[in-house]
Structure 1
Amino acid sequence: MNTIEAIHHRRSIKQYDPNHVMPQEDVNTLLEAASLAPTSFNIQHWRFVHVKDMNIRQQLRSAAWDQTQVTDASTLLVVTANTQSWQETPERYWENVDQTTQETLVNMLQDFYRGREWLQRDEAIRSGAMAAQNIMLCAEALGYQTSPMIGFDIDKVGEIINLPESHVIVMMIAIGKGTTQAYPRGGQLPLSEIVIENTF
């Protein structure tokens, strides 16, 4: 399946085969795809909580208003992002370039983020969302279905996974073998409405 086919074919599925076990090799493939998503200054804000413990997944299901995909899908990822990545040893994001380039980029990124808490948070969420899309498209190509989720008590989920204060939750993604077909698409807005040329 090519990328365009995966984009057109991917739909959010809510019901999954609870007996299907995803091979670790496929989980690794999904997470490696996530790690190749773009981030500002190569900061790589994302942190993926792979929830394997079924007791924890049951707690998360309760925090997600009893949505069955939380426990029934083969794999559950909580996509989080570290808003403070910009100042946590930023040299490592550019360890493969020459020292002058590294120093220039590190100074630029620190100047860009310092004192802008709103930007730190917004950029972390943007990065996590792009990584999540990589995961979902990769899963589609591997023959899995996905359900991106934000329908849950975000504070409770943070408590359950022991979310660090410097992190934000982007979404949860349930991944597995769907047992139902997606509903027909509700309707897409025409390009004439969503594309603006040059200025509003």
Structure 2
Amino acid sequence: MDTFEAIRQRRAIKAFDPTYQISKVEQDQLIDLAMQAPSSFNIQHWRLVNVTDTALRAQLREAAFDQAQVTEGSLLFVVCADIKAWEKDPQRYWTNAPKEAQDILVPWINPFYSGKEQLQRDEAMRSVGILMQTMMLSAKAMGYDSCPMVGFDFDKVAKIIKLPKDYAVGAMLVIGKGIKPAWPKPGFISSAEMVVENHF
């Protein structure tokens, strides 16, 4: 499936075949594609908790107000952000870049983020969003469906996955074989409302 078609066909699917298993090869491909997502300063704030334990999935489903896709999708990721990734050996994010790029960009990272708690969180969450969209489009291109989720108790989910200090839960992402199509797209605001030329 080409990119344009994947964008148009991707929907948040709620009903998945609980017996269908995505192969390890396809899981690895999906993760490899996710790694291609961009992030500010290439910091790659995202951390994916791949929940394979059925008991943990049941707990997460309860924390998600009993939404069936949490246990019925082939894959369930709790997509988290390492908010302090910017200060954790930032040189490692640039090991394959030309030395002249490393020499300019790596020293910028600390002064850009240091002391700016809101910016640190905003950047981490932006990275999570870009990663999730990359994963959803990749899944669609591979013939699978997905469901991004924020309809859950964030504190309960953090406790269930033993979220480390300085991390945040961004969302959950279910991927699998959909068995019931989504309803028609509910509608779009006009492009005139969406696009503002030059300034508000």
Please tell me the TM-score bracket, short chain as reference. over 0.9
Identity of aligned residues (%): 47
What's the secondary structure of 1:18's corresponding residue?
coil
Question: Aligned ranges for residues 105-120 of structure 1 at < 5 Å?
Answer: 105-120=105-120
* Alpha-carbon distance in structure 2 between the residues aligned to 1:170 and 1:14: 19
- TM-score between both structures, scaled by the size of structure 2: 0.97
Post-superposition Cα deviations, 1:69-124, rounded to whole Å, max 9, x if no partner, equal 00000110111110101100001011123545323312101110000010000000
RMSD of aligned C-alpha atoms?
Answer: 1.0
Instruction: Give the match for residue 168 of structure 1.
Output: 168
Instruction: Give the match for residue 177 of structure 1.
Output: 177
Is 2:123 aligned against 1:95?
Answer: no
- TM-score between both structures, scaled by the size of structure 1: 0.97
* Alpha-carbon distance in structure 1 between the residues aligned to 2:194 and 2:101: 39
TM-fit CA distance, 1:178: 0.9
Flag structure 1 segments of 5+ consecutive residues without an equivalent: none
Is 2:2 aligned against 1:2?
Answer: yes
* Alpha-carbon distance in structure 1 between the residues aligned to 2:96 and 2:121: 27
Post-superposition Cα deviations, 1:110-161, rounded to whole Å, max 9, x if no partner, equal 1100000100000000001100000000000111111100000001000000
* Alpha-carbon distance in structure 1 between the residues aligned to 2:98 and 2:148: 39
Question: Aligned ranges for residues 36-47 of structure 1 at < 5 Å?
Answer: 36-47=36-47
Letter of the structure 2 residue corresponding to residue 176 of structure 1: G
Post-superposition Cα deviations, 1:25-54, rounded to whole Å, max 9, x if no partner, equal 111111111111111111011101110001
* Alpha-carbon distance in structure 2 between the residues aligned to 1:110 and 1:34: 26
Instruction: Give the match for residue 61 of structure 1.
Output: 61
Instruction: Give the match for residue 124 of structure 2.
Output: 124
* Alpha-carbon distance in structure 2 between the residues aligned to 1:98 and 1:174: 37
* Alpha-carbon distance in structure 2 between the residues aligned to 1:28 and 1:48: 13
Flag structure 2 segments of 5+ consecutive residues without an equivalent: none
Instruction: Give the match for residue 151 of structure 1.
Output: 151
Is 2:86 aligned against 1:74?
Answer: no
